[in-house]
Amino acid sequence: MQNEEIKNEMPENESVPTENQVQEPEIKELSLEEQLKESQESYKRLYAEFDNFRKRSQKEKSELLKYAEEGVIKQLLPVLDDFERAMANNEKTSDVTVVKEGFQLIYNKMSKTLQDRGLSAVDSQGAIFDTEFHEAITEFPAMEESQKGKVIDTAEKGYTLNGKIIRYAKVVVGK
């Protein structure tokens, strides 16, 4: 009865295949040598792709390093222009206060530019000596007991860039 239902559902020009008429899908069996060749070719393609990726990544990295400073340099160019104008004006003026004001303005502009890029000075004067931030260039006898182990003088400021020390402060420590 099921065959009759199937025949009723099927179009008239098609017939239901019998078990003898059903063909199994062809299974393509590859010899071990063919499988090995296929695997080797696949490996070679994959290795070539990886090698190309590695070369491309290395090229991109070198380009990035080559032009990494571009942003900072572009921001410092106006400061350089200001220095050039100041030097030209310094030869024309005899008023020392104008020269001092000009240099102070240029210093402030440069300092602001560097701070905007994440640079900050390490405040060392009077701080407890810390090897994480300071480099002791010498020890000096402290005038007071409270100055022992603390920074008495700063020979060179230290700086951090986005929280990372890029230059240790060179300091004189009281002993």
Q: Is the dihedral of CA 130, 131, 133, 134 positive or negative?
A: positive
User: Checking DSSP bridges between strand 151-156 and strand 134-140, what pairing results, if any?
Assistant: unpaired
Q: Is the dihedral of CA 120, 125, 128, 134 positive or negative?
A: positive
Closest CA to 150 of 161, 159, 139: 139
Mean pLDDT computed over 89-102:
87
Backbone φ, ψ for residue 96 (5° rounding): -65, -35
Mean pLDDT computed over 148-166:
92
User: Checking DSSP bridges between strand 134-140 and strand 169-174, what pairing results, if any?
Assistant: parallel
Q: What ranges do the domains of the chain cover?
A: 48-117, 120-175
pTM above 0.75, yes or no: no
On whether the 120-175 domain is CATH 3.40.50.880, my answer is no
pLDDT at 19: 55
Which structure tokens are listed for 98? 């104008």
Contact present, 173 and 140 (Cβ < 8 Å): yes
Q: Is the pLDDT of residue 9 over 70?
A: no
